[in-house]
Structure 1
Amino acid sequence: MDTVNLEDIKEAVEYMPIVGVTSNPSIVKKTSPKDFFKHMKEVRKIIGKERSLHIQVISKECDEIVKEAHRILEKIDDQVYIKVPVSYEGVKAIKKLKAEGVNVTATAVYD
C-alpha cells in the first residue's frame, strides 16, 4: 500500500494480502500527522512485523540521509526500510546504510 492513512491501512490489511506499506513526503503531507514518529509506529502496529514498512528520508546530502535513517530506525524500529532517492548523494548513502545492514529501498525522484 502506498499510503499512511490509518483507516485505509486497517481496512486493507483486513481484506487484502498486503505485503507492506510505503510512504514518501507527499503521501505523509496529505495525511498531516501531528506526530510523525507516533503515527508511523501506529502504522507498524497495524501491519505488524511480518509486513514491510518503507519510510523515505527528506535529506539530500549523504551524511544527513544516514543521520535521518538512524533516527527513523531508532524512533520506529530497526526493521523499517529506509527509502533513499537515487541521486549521487543518495547512492553514496545507500552504500553506507547497506554496509551497516540497514534495509534500504532505492526510489526515483522526478523534478
Structure 2
Amino acid sequence: MKTLSSKKLAETVKNLRESKGYTKEELGNLTNINRIMIGRIEREDFIPSIVQLEALSNVLGFDLTEMFVEKENEDSFVALRSESLSDSEKEGVEKLFAMMLSLRQQIKLRRSFENEKNHAK
C-alpha cells in the first residue's frame, strides 16, 4: 500500500520553491495556500489536501505520484511471536503482558467486590 511521504513532500516543496526563487508568501499566492501552511508543509507539520497537493505540483512542476512511497506493514503479530526481537525486547514484551494480565485480574476482582457490596445492601 502506498502512502504520502510527508518527508519527501517537505523536501520537494522546499527545494523547488527555493530553486525557483519563490518566498513562502509568493508560493502561497500562486497556489492559494496560506504562507504559514507552506511553512508547516516544509516542516512536515501539515498534510495538504488533494487540491492543495495538485496546486503545489502544478506550480512547482513535480510529479505528485512521486510523493507516495510503499508503506511497510507494521504487523504487531510479528512482535507478539517474538521474532526479530532482542532478549531485552522479549523480556519487555513479557513484562508488559504480565502487567496487563495483572491489571485485568484486579479489575475483575474490584467488579466482583463491588457487586457483592451492592447485593449486601
TM-score by length of 1: 0.25
Larger fraction in helix: 2
Q: Answer 1 or 2: higher relative contact order, Cα 8 Å, separation at least 6.
A: 2
More strand by share: 1
Could you say which structure has the larger radius of gyration? 2
